[in-house]
């Protein structure tokens, strides 16, 4: 089956969303994950597509502390952080809401990207908190959140649509 560029882009976006969902929430079934995709705007996503995304990402089921089986990212399939990798390849999205900017990154790069932002000493940034897969940036003034998001994009040298709060 030959896929168009837009189909490949859609699949890439779905993989990024699936990775982010599995990393940030607990899912016991593909149906629960499919419903979350629907809430994110993928209204017609099928169970088979969710299954394919899970397989592509190497997702496994593990037992949580309460003995319930949940989906989890398999560490063997996660990329090893590479210091020579360009920052633009580490960043998967830059979003903001009225309170903060969040930078989603490939697994293992969050702290490095957080340090890059933090070491800029930007007056507009009150603070930076980083995990393995995300960086939260608190603006000094929430009324300037759009400008702070644009500034973060400039620092990380990632492109974004100025009229949108989402990248890519």
In the block, tokens 């990207």 appear at 113
What pTM, to 2 d.p., does this model score?
A: 0.52
Q: Mapping DSSP to helix (H, G, I), strand (E, B) and coil, where does residue 27 land? A: coil
Could you count the other beta carbons within 10 Å of the beta carbon of residue 146? Answer: 15
82: pLDDT strictly greater than 70: no
Quote the mean pLDDT of the chain: 82
Fold of 87-156: Gyrase A; domain 2 (3.30.1360)
Q: Average pLDDT of 144-161?
A: 86
Confidence band, pLDDT 50/70/90 cuts, at residue 163: very low
CA atoms within 13 A on the CB side of 61: 9
Fold match, 5-77 / 87-156: no
CA distances from 141 to 61, 123, 133, 137, 147 (A): 42, 10, 25, 12, 10
Residues 107 and 78: beta-carbon distance below 8 Å: yes
Both tokens of residue 58? Answer: 């190497």
- All structural domains of the chain with their residue ranges: 5-77, 87-156
Report pLDDT for 164: 41
Asked if 115 and 153 count as a contact pair (C-beta separation under 8 A), the reply is: no
Each residue of 96-146: pLDDT tens digit?
A: 999 999 998 887 788 889 988 988 899 999 999 998 888 999 999 999 999
Q: Which CATH number fits domain 5-77: 3.30.450.40, 3.20.20.70, 3.40.640.10, 1.10.10.10?
A: 1.10.10.10
Alpha-carbon distance of 151 to 153, in angstroms, equals 5
pLDDT, mean of residues 72-97: 72
């Amino acid at each position: 089956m030959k896929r168009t560029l837009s189909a490949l882009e859609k699949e890439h976006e779905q993989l990024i969303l699936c990775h982010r969902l599995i990393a940030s929430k607990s899912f016991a079934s593909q149906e629960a994950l499919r419903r979350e995709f629907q809430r994110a705007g993928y209204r017609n996503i099928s169970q088979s597509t969710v299954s394919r995304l899970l397989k592509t990402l190497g997702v496994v089921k593990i037992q949580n502390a309460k003995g319930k089986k949940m989906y989890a990212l398999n560490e063997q399939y996660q990329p090893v952080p590479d210091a020579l990798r360009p920052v633009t390849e580490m960043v998967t999205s830059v979003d903001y809401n009225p309170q903060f900017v969040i930078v989603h990154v490939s697994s293992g790069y969050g702290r490095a990207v957080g340090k890059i932002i933090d070491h800029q000493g930007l007056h507009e940034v009150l603070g930076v908190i980083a995990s393995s897969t995300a960086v939260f940036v608190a603006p000094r003034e929430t009324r300037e959140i759009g400008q702070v998001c644009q500034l973060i994009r400039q620092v990380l040298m990632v492109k974004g649509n100025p009229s949108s709060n989402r990248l890519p």
